[in-house]
A and B are shown apart, each in its own frame.
Chain A
Amino acid sequence: MKGAHDAALNLRGMTAYIDDLPEPANALQATVKLSESARGRITRIDALAALALDPSVRVITAADVPGENQLGFTVADEPLLPEHEWEYWGQPLVLCLAQTRALARRAAELVRVEGEPLEPVFDPREAAARGEFILPPRTQSSGDVEKAVARASYVAEGRADSGGQEHVYLETQGAFAELVDGTRVRIVSSTQGATVVQRAAARVLGLPMNAVEVEARRLGGAFGGKEDQATSWACLAALGAFVTGRPVKLYLDRKTDMRATGKRHPYSSDFRISADKDGRILSFEADYYQNSGSSCDLSPGILSRTLFHACGAYRVPNVRITGYMCKTNLPSFTAFRGFGAPQAFFVIEAAIDALAAKMGLQAEEIKARNLVEEGDVTHYGMPLVGVRAREAWDRLTAQADWRRLRADIDAFNAAHPLEKLGAALIPNCFGISFTKLPMNQGGALVHVYQDGSVLVSTGAVEMGQQVARKIARVASSALGVPLDTVRVERTSTLTVANTVPTAASTGSDINGAAALAACEEIRGRIIAKATELTGLAAAELSFREGRLLCAGSDTGLSFRDLVAKCHEARIDLSAHGFYATPGLFYDAQAERGSPFAYHVYGAALVVARLDVLRGSYAIEKAVAVHDIARSLDPVVDRGQVEGAFAQGLGWATLEELVFSNEGRLLSDTLSTYKLPDAHFLSAGLDLDFLPESENPRAVLGSKAVGEPPLNYGIAGYFAVLDAIRAARPDARIPYDLPMTPEKALSALSGGLVGTRKRGNA
């Protein structure tokens, strides 16, 4: 199958992920010793017993870091290995190396780190009350909320909490590092950002960036978990190699990965919403207490996206929202597909749910009346163009026959006391671009070889989102060559420098556009040669499937022929392409601007079935209508929408991080942390794309697809809530995502005394 080489290799077991790479005979295996309480001051590290275990054992501490022991670039609050204090349960304290992984693990168990306990804090509101912030709070506002509330017919307020989410990339964090000529370092990292790792490793090792080579091959999943948090593992492997002079491989076992790494940020939020007598939203206010965890990491960017998505897909004329990045003694929460937007969507959806209850209306009625429309200006001052929220909503409600479905559900519920159906709809409006302006750039290096085959290197890391397949399509279409003559290489700092992480759904937008620029440059040179050889007008010439056409008819010349002619004529068949997303600006002081290139729209419906006796529930049906503009590859986009929805649904109705009162992660294995399995998702997603339309703000008229559909899963939470209310119309149920069978049962039995409190952790 054309353009699917990678997938074929995966299926044959031939793709080499980090742990599959052959190791030199002198390689050492690495693991880390994790802290065993939430906060403390290190008084002594005793490695004697570990070192006595085997001659190959090496124990490396902060004192061995040759450069600057610091990974934090926004805020310097993240040492590679702590010198004085540990700040969460599961923090890597020392690096252990040995001949085999089992030996390294046993050595780590034998290392004793003694310390004095310090008082931890886990709850973001408590941290806020103490003034423990990563960075100062941020407020965005528009209009006049007090005036709006004063003239509103309905006001609803409340609290909405959402839990964190473990990434469960099937390939855990890992890296391989070795010295080159004893002075430089080469790192193969399971990272979304080769340059991120390069910059940090250079800093930690005290080397210039040109002495650090980082390669990112195919990753076994990432979902944001390897945007910033692959860095420490790569740096630890590099440190090990640097100190011992031997190659080092570090591949975390699942439990260590789950304990040590950050997850999606939990949020605890307060909201107030007001509406006129017809249910038109007049104002929305929210305070978002983001549980940032122990260090800055990407928390400011994530909060930024929360604020920008505060109003969901709704038109709200008066807004005042504040976000707090609360520093706690939990793993540093980090990027996870959606990047703060799903947390914001949950709050506005909860607010509308509360408003609907006040008004005695279906929440869906309020949603339909308040969708964003063409020309609306967001609360941060960005005019919306190409808005498709209503189009998606109307198509969804028509396709799912919503009114009839609602009536059928109500009739079913009236007839079945121990079984209830529930349903919810959610509209989508998701901004595309890194909210941090300098990150909206990318490069590509394209080579056309003498035989006409094409090699494309970009900063886009392939991690299952099939960005390589999309970029191959861009190159194939730009050069007019068959797809199977294009190969997309792994990402390496040697081929493309200063890359941004493959994240924020922008992987194919940015890197595809850079590849397009390079391909167009090479194509121009070849066409010029063709013009010279044939005397035909350049404007008439084009390549299609490797043939040179003139005004649409075959000239008898092939791409390959012309490439050979160019080479003979000493014409450069390589080009570097660069892309910087145009039209972005943001005034951080005024909190005004246009931080996004465009928005992605859509809508989804979820129906849940609740077993009133057992408190268990299942997803009965899910329908989505989604905007992919003019897709680079609809098959890939389908996989992205289905996968994102599955993760969103998991976050909303199943996946639960559980910490002990002392801050230890209890859900630290796949037997205690449950993500959707095939049974859970057996209803599938009935997915329809909006009619094709060209998006002028992205490569070849396409739209980004990775993150926006994750929001659809939130409808799962409200669908189960709807079913619970059908059984218990009087139940007072807090907005506390994820829904779990335990919470459902608590609501069904009128509240359980002593139900475990998660403390938003």
Chain B
Amino acid sequence: MTKRSLRFLANDRVVETDRWEGSPALDFIRKDLALTGTKEGCREGDCGACAVLLGERKREGGAAYRAVPSCVLPLAALENKHLVTIEGLAAGADGGLTPVMRAFLEENASQCGFCSPGFIIVLTAWLIEGSHLDEEGALEAVSGNLCRCTGYGSIRRAAARLIKDFRDLPPEPEARLDALAAAQVVPASLPAFAQGGLLEKTAPRPLFTPVGFAVGGGSDLYVRNPDPIPRSGFAYLPADPSLKAITRRGATLEVGAAATVREFFASEDVRSAVPGIERFEGKFASILVRNVATLGGNAVNASPVADIVSMLIALGAIVRIERPEQSGTAREIPLERLYLGYKKLDLAAGELVTAFLLQAHGRPLFNFEKASKRSTLDIAAVNTAIMIELDENRITRGRISAGGVAATPLLLEGASELITGREVTGSLAVEAARAAASEVSPISDVRGSAAYRIEALKRLVLAHFATLFPGDAGIQDAVTKEALR
């Protein structure tokens, strides 16, 4: 295998390296680039201290900048992109302090300081994205960042200052980036890169043959293996645009396996195929992780509590598996059949999950529920999703999934069968919940006991009905009675 070198823009200079592209980007940033403002706090994408900005040129011109967790990101993800670290932001501002930093200073929002660069990065990304410049948007922007000193009060007050100062930014991305550069929120290198400068465009290289080590976002992989040993055969799948596309073909929605969770929820096609699905985006990890985690990566990681997998199973997703080596070898199976046992997949060596296929006709009712310690940035003890197609008040097709109640993510076949063909009533909700609870046999672990998981699943299925039919007094009564039984 020929050695390939990676090129990218690091703050305002072009970097070329032949380091192994599976190395965690964080190590490269801290060691090779000696940019130590980016911190290592947990090495599993769970604290945000390692956050950096990553800009990617868009096909239609301009660039999209996102905050990403560099500790669970392969170096390959930087290729042809613009990496902006805290040092890069500081260098672009008079006195070294951008308005975001200044807001933190005014509100005394940096105590021990270890988490501060990460917070500055994600709030800068929030201003660049610019679509939710309100209190809730700020909360979402910092959803992947932990601070142990402040209790977040001063950070919230700093964000409030930014909302006040920047609420009138132009809505068009390019104009906004220019305005932010003029205000020294970001250095001039961002608009320059977005306009095609600083890093010359290079033709996309052919994707490596994905042997052995094909990586989606990396946010699961590096959690399991924080020090991967360099080896050949590394393939960073999101580099292949064909694996990222979300396209509607007639009644079928095809979602590329390397599409990120963020892209999935942002897709108009996805939102029209599953009305209201975007309400559940915030239940999945943090914005940092959603910016890199891919649907395919999450699926093949085979965690029994993967939120997105639970959603996709309820939606009846079909997974397409191909051998990139041999064309015409694609096979398609229901997603729930991909799982043979704990972390065991129906996926042979050389096979790759390339897409998920969803039905895009009709307007199904959809709900997702999750039991976890924290309501945000947490892995579920139990999760469940439901998809219902209704004819009048009769369920013509119903699917209920569950995670965290078995060695694999499940389609609850008994409960799904039970509700299909039935009128929606309070007693159906109770029957479905009890059926769901009776068809699983979870284990106890760090996230919850078996008994808790069964009870939680029962109640979350009740919650599906209570949420989907808020005006139905019969359902509300039945759910209340069952919950307080």
A residues near B (Cβ < 8 Å) are: 1, 4, 6-17, 19-20, 101-102, 105-106, 167-172, 218-223, 253-254, 417-418, 463-466, 612-616, 618, 635-636, 638-639, 642-647, 654, 656, 658, 666-667, 669-672, 674-682, 684-685, 727-728, 740-742, 745-746, 748-750, 752-756
User: B35, B146, B485: which contacts A677 (Cβ < 8 A)?
Assistant: B146
Q: Contacts A615-B459, A643-B150: A17 and B114 contacting too (C-beta < 8 A)?
A: yes
Contact B449 A752 (CB under 8 A): yes
A757 closest partner in B (C-beta): B449
B455 near A417: Cβ-Cβ < 8 Å: no
Once A13-B38, A613-B463, A614-B463 are accepted as A-B contacts, the answer to whether A671 and B223 lie under 8 Å apart by CB is: yes
B328 at the interface (CB under 8 A from A): no
| Bound complex: CA A465 to CA B113 (Å) | 11
Judging by beta carbons under 8 Å apart, are A684 and B446 in contact?
no
Q: Once bound together, how far apart are the Cα atoms of A740 and B38, in whole Å?
A: 33
Known: A20-B36, A678-B156. Is A218-B112 also a contact (CB below 8 A)?
yes
| B143: contacting residue among A171, A679, A684, A741, CB under 8 A | A679
Residue among B101, B117, B142, B446 having the largest count of chain A Cβ atoms under 10 Å: B446
A654 neighbours in B (Cβ, 8 Å)? 373-374
Contact-size category for B: 35 or more
CB-based nearest A residue for B103: A11
Q: Determine the distance from Cα of A8 to Cα of B85 in the docked complex, in whole angstroms.
A: 16
CB distance from A639 to the nearest CB of B (A): 6
Instruction: Give chain A nearest CB distance to B36 CB in angstroms.
Output: 4
**1/0 contact string of B420-453 vs chain A (CB within 8 Å):** 0000000000000000000000001111111110
The 8 A-B pairs of least Cβ separation, nearest first, read A13-B37, A10-B113, A464-B112, A220-B114, A646-B151, A13-B86, A464-B111, A20-B36
A-B residue pairs in contact (CB < 8 Å), sample of 22: A4-B108, A7-B104, A7-B105, A8-B96, A10-B117, A11-B110, A12-B101, A13-B36, A13-B117, A219-B112, A254-B41, A464-B149, A465-B111, A618-B375, A646-B151, A647-B148, A666-B445, A671-B44, A677-B377, A678-B152, A746-B452, A755-B449
Establish whether residues B375 and A218, one from each chain, have CB atoms under 8 Å apart when the complex forms: no
Taking the nearest CB of chain B, how far is it from the CB of A186, in angstroms? 21
Q: Is B232 interfacial (CB-CB < 8 Å)?
A: no
Verify if B76 is at the interface (C-beta below 8 Å from A): no
**A residues near B472, Cβ cutoff 8 Å:** none
Bound-state Cα–Cα, A615 to B462, Å: 13
Residues of A within 8 A of B111 (CB): 464-466, 639, 643
Which of chain B's residues 16-39 have a Cβ closer than 8 Å to chain A?
Answer: 30, 35-39
B contact residues around A756 at 8 Å (CB): 444, 448-449, 452
Task: For the complex formed, measure the closest distance between the CB of B324 and the CB atoms of chain A, giving whole angstroms.
Answer: 30
Which residues in A have their C-beta under 8 angstroms from that of B466?
A: 418, 613
Residue contact B46 to A670, C-beta cutoff 8 Å: yes
- With contact pairs A647-B148, A749-B455 given, residues A614 and B444 touching in the complex (Cβ less than 8 Å): no
Contact check, A8 vs B227: say whether CB atoms are below 8 A apart.
no
A-B CB contacts (within 8 Å), total count: 274
| In the complex, residue of chain B having the shortest beta-carbon distance to the beta carbon of A654 | B373
Chain A residues closer than 8 Å to B120, beta-carbon distance: 11
For residue B404, give the distance in angstroms from its CB to the closest CB of chain A. 12
Cα–Cα, bound, A16→B113 (Å): 10
A684 lies within 8 A of B153 (CB): yes
What is the bound-complex CA distance between A448 and B145, given in angstroms?
41
Cα A219 to Cα B111 with chains together (Å): 10
Do residues B480 and A418 form an inter-chain contact, with CB atoms below 8 A?
A: yes
Chain A residues lying within 8 Å of B373, measured Cβ to Cβ, are 654, 656, 674, 740-741
A14 touches B37 (CB 8 A): yes
- Chain A residues contacting B372 (CB-CB under 8 Å) are 741
| B162 at the A interface (CB under 8 A) | no
How far is it, in angstroms, between the C-alpha of A607 and the C-alpha of B379 when the chains are bound? 26
Q: Is B483 a contact of A658 with CB atoms below 8 Å? A: no
Identify the B interface with A (CB < 8 A). Answer: 30, 35-44, 46-47, 49, 85-87, 90, 96-97, 101, 104-106, 108, 110-117, 120, 139, 142-143, 145-156, 223, 226-227, 229, 369, 371-379, 381, 444-452, 455-456, 459-460, 462-463, 466, 479-480, 483-485
Nearest to B155 among chain A residues (CB) is A678
Cβ contact within 8 Å between B149 and A615: no
- Give Cα A106–Cα B142 distance, bound, in whole angstroms: 34
Q: Does B446 contact A170, Cβ atoms closer than 8 Å?
A: no
Structural contact, A170 and B146, CB atoms closer than 8 A: yes
Contact for B459 among A613, A636, A670, CB less than 8 A: A613
Evaluate contact between A613 and B151: CB separation under 8 angstroms: no
Tell me the complex Cα distance, A589–B281, Å.
61
User: What residues on A are CB-neighbors of B142 within 8 Å?
Assistant: 678
Apart from A218-B112, A679-B139, 20 more pairs, CB < 8 Å: A12-B86, A102-B227, A105-B227, A106-B229, A171-B39, A220-B112, A464-B113, A612-B484, A636-B108, A666-B446, A670-B46, A677-B145, A677-B374, A677-B376, A681-B153, A682-B139, A684-B153, A746-B452, A752-B455, A756-B452
Closest to A679 in B: B376
- CB-defined contacts of A636 to chain B, threshold 8 Å: 108
**Alpha-carbon distance A614/B455, docked complex (angstroms):** 9
Smallest CB-CB separation from A755: which chain B residue? B449
Q: Which of A639, A674, A749, A752 contacts B378 (CB 8 A)?
A: A674
Task: State A671–B149 Cα separation when bound (angstroms).
Answer: 19
Whole-angstrom distance between the Cβ of A252 and the nearest chain B Cβ:
10
Please state if B377 and A6 are interface contacts (CB–CB under 8 Å).
no
Q: Which residues of B contact A613 (CB under 8 A)?
A: 459, 462-463, 466, 479, 483
Are A417 and B148 neighbours in the complex by a CB distance under 8 Å?
A: no
| CB of B445, distance to nearest CB on chain A (Å) | 7
Across the two chains, which residue of chain B brings its CB closest to A686?
B153
CB nearest neighbor in B for A666: B446
- Find A615's partner among B38, B143, B156, B371 (CB 8 Å cutoff): B371
Chain A residues near B150 (CB-CB < 8 A): 639, 642-643, 646
- Known: A670-B146, A756-B444. Is A171-B114 also a contact (CB below 8 A)? yes
Q: B48 to chain A: closest CB distance in Å?
A: 10
B156 touches A684 (CB 8 A): yes
The chain B residue sitting closest to A221, CB to CB, is: B112
Q: Which of B113, B226, B449, B483 contacts A253 (CB 8 A)?
A: B226
Q: Which of A11, A17, A676, A677 has the most CB of B within 10 A?
A: A11
| A614 CB contact (under 8 Å) in B42, B151, B459, B480 | B459
Contact A253 B223 (CB under 8 A): no
A755 & B460 in contact (Cβ 8 Å cutoff): no
Closest to B369 in A: A614
* Closest B residue by C-beta to A746: B452
B452 touches A221 (CB 8 A): no
Residue in B closest to A713 when the chains form the complex, CB atoms: B151
Q: Which of B378, B451, B479 contacts A755 (CB 8 A)?
A: B451
Alpha-carbon separation in the docked complex, A727 to B483 (Å):
10
Check if A418 sits within 8 Å of B483, measured CB to CB.
yes
Is there an interface contact between A754 and B463, defined as CB atoms closer than 8 Å?
no
CA–CA, A254 and B72, complex, Å: 14
Closest to A644 in B: B151
Contact, CB under 8 Å: B148 / A168: yes
Give the one of A13, A615, A728, A745 with max B CB within 10 A: A13
Interchain CA distance A685-B108 in the complex, whole Å: 16
Residue of A nearest to B372 (CB): A741
Nearest chain B CB to A313's CB is how many angstroms away? 22
* A669 in contact with B139 (CB, 8 Å): no
B117 partner residues in chain A, CB cutoff 8 A: 10-11, 13
Q: In the complex, what residue of chain B is closest to A104 when comparing beta carbons?
A: B227
Chain B contacts for A101, CB-based, 8 A: 227
- CB neighbours of A168 from chain B (8 A): 146, 148
Q: Given the interface contacts A10-B116, A752-B449, A756-B444, does A612 sit within 8 Å of B149 by beta carbon?
A: no
Chain A residue at minimum C-beta to C-beta distance from B45: A671
Known: A7-B113, A674-B373, A679-B143. A253 touches B43 (CB 8 A): yes
Complex formed: what's the CA distance from A16 to B114 in Å? 10
Given A12-B97, A12-B101: A669 and B42 interface contact (C-beta under 8 Å): yes
A6 to chain B: closest residue by CB? B113
Inter-chain contacts of A19 with B (CB < 8 A): 30, 36, 40
In whole angstroms, what is the CA distance A755 to B454 when docked?
Answer: 11
